[in-house]
Amino acid sequence: MLVLSRKKGESIIIQDHIEVTVLAVEGDTVRIGISAPKHIDIFRQEVYASIQETNRESATPLAANVEAFMERLRNNGIKKD
């Protein structure tokens, strides 16, 4: 992890296209602004983690769905070895 010190109004640049600017520092809270091309998704970590979990759940077949699929195969004369 790269650790940098920045003051209000200062920025960092990531790969020529993403600029992260410190907008304000208030106690333990730092407000940052991010400028990036529209095709780059930017999420808070907790939102990103939630999206990833939802995607994993969506990609995992439910046992009932698998059983229904297997039953359909059996009913159509297709047997699983």
Q: What is the per-residue pLDDT for 80?
A: 56
Contact 73, 67 (CB under 8 A): no
Contact 40, 17 (CB under 8 A): yes
Q: What is the per-residue pLDDT for 22?
A: 97
The parts of the chain modelled with pLDDT lower than 70 are 61, 77-81
Q: What is the per-residue pLDDT for 34?
A: 97
Sign for the pseudo-dihedral over CA of 66, 71, 76, 79 = positive
